[in-house]
Amino acid sequence: MDNLPVSGQRLWDSLMEMARIGATAKGGCNRQTLTDLDSEGRHLLLRWCKPLGLSMTVDRVGNMVFRRAGTDPSRKPVAIGSHLDTQPTGGRFDGALGVLAGLETLRAMHEAGLRTRAPIVLVNWTNEEGARFSPPMMGSGVAVGLFTEEEVLAKTDPTGAVFGRELARIGWQGEADPAWARNLGAYFELHIEQGPLLEAEGASVGVVTGASAQAWFEVTVEGAEAHGGNGMAMRRDALVAASLMIAAVEGIALEHGGNGTVGRLTLHPDSRNVVPGRVWFTVDLRHSSETALGRMVAALRVRLGAIAAARRVTATVTPFWSFPETPFDPTLTGRVRAAARARGYAHRDMPTGIGHDAVYLARAVPSALIFAPCHGGLSHNEAESITPEWAEAGCRVLADAVLATAEIV
């Protein structure tokens, strides 16, 4: 679609304007879900969409859906989506690139007067990050039936704030049924790679073939509090035991060729001169092979149990969240690949070890995920950065694949 007036400069300007909402001193973004800043970002997206003649609906978990009508009422919509929420120390492009590249596609179509047989919708999914309310990808998860509305609306953040109340407070709890997403004909998402491969190989586009399996756990280690002046031999120190368990998570990941992360840890009683009697921490295990992930999970239980026995503490390992190895639709993926090739962009097929809304959508409707490079693979970090050229390349490939699927009249 060489005649589609996609503007790399306009896309970049939009990214920079959105990044000012929740901007941090180190150049990143703190625009966590269901905060006032999240609401401000949503209002900016709405303001940008209004001149394009799009109709907007908001569903009961806050997903924003902008619809551009097609000429064939029998055709299912082709969706473009991602998220505007960020981590507490997030970057300017994680999520926002996908939403605003979708916006740029619709802006270019509006300017060119293009019509498509299938409707095209742009989606801003609620709470992809899972930073404030866990687990992640709640909006898309409800939309495809992996979570219920009731359980998501009842979730609380670490301060006790309730998801549903916060959604209503910021004014973004709609009335539409989130199940609308199960009637999509196709879903496309552009996202930064959050890894170093594309930049290292000089490629501008990643054609994502599938997503790794993941399993998350919460671990509670119970020992006994003791005075810091008591003898070492009698201690049942939950924190020392937990530290050995955390090292074991890393070891398991390295041995199996997967990923293992401990991202949160709390201890009790959290006093300077008291041996910790209880420690709670999270474990995130990932692998491209579901079978290998199963072996990692089994190893986790065995090793944490052995450490607990040796340290005279108990360890309770509780499953929190998981999803299986998920392939993306080969037809849509082929269109992404063909678009990159036609435009002369260096590209490569690749899996992703990271969860995205597209991973959930792929379990219900044909879906494709496109990666743009990011410097050093750095993400979930205020220093996250990409180039305007990478953003534009990803946007053009996205637009071409979407139009090939929606069919220009």
pLDDT in tens, 357-384: 999 999 999 999 999 999 999 999 999 9
Q: What percent of the chain has pLDDT over 70?
A: 100
Q: Are 92 and 101 in contact (CB under 8 A)?
A: no
Burial profile 95-121: b = 16 or more Cβ within 10 angstroms, e = fewer: bbbbbbbbbbbbbbbeeeebebbbbbb
Beta-strand relationship, 326-327 and 278-287: unpaired
Check whether 3 has a pLDDT greater than 80. no
Q: What is the pLDDT of residues 49-103, one digit of tens each?
A: 999 999 999 999 999 999 999 999 999 999 999 999 999 999 999 999 999 999 9
Is 200 a residue whose pLDDT tops 80? yes
**How do 213-222 and 278-287 pair as beta strands?**
antiparallel
Residue range 42-51, pLDDT digits in tens: 999 999 999 9
Q: How many CB atoms lie within 10 A of CB 212?
A: 24
Dihedral angle computed from the Cα positions of residues 344, 346, 351 and 352, in that order, rounded to the nearest 10 degrees: -100
Q: Report the mean per-residue pLDDT for the chain.
A: 96
Mean pLDDT of 281-285: 97
Domains of the chain, with CATH numbers?
Answer: 8-212+325-406 (3.40.630.10), 213-323 (3.30.70.360)
CA 146, CA 163: separation in Å to the nearest integer? 17
- Position 218 confidence tier, pLDDT thresholds 50, 70, 90: very high
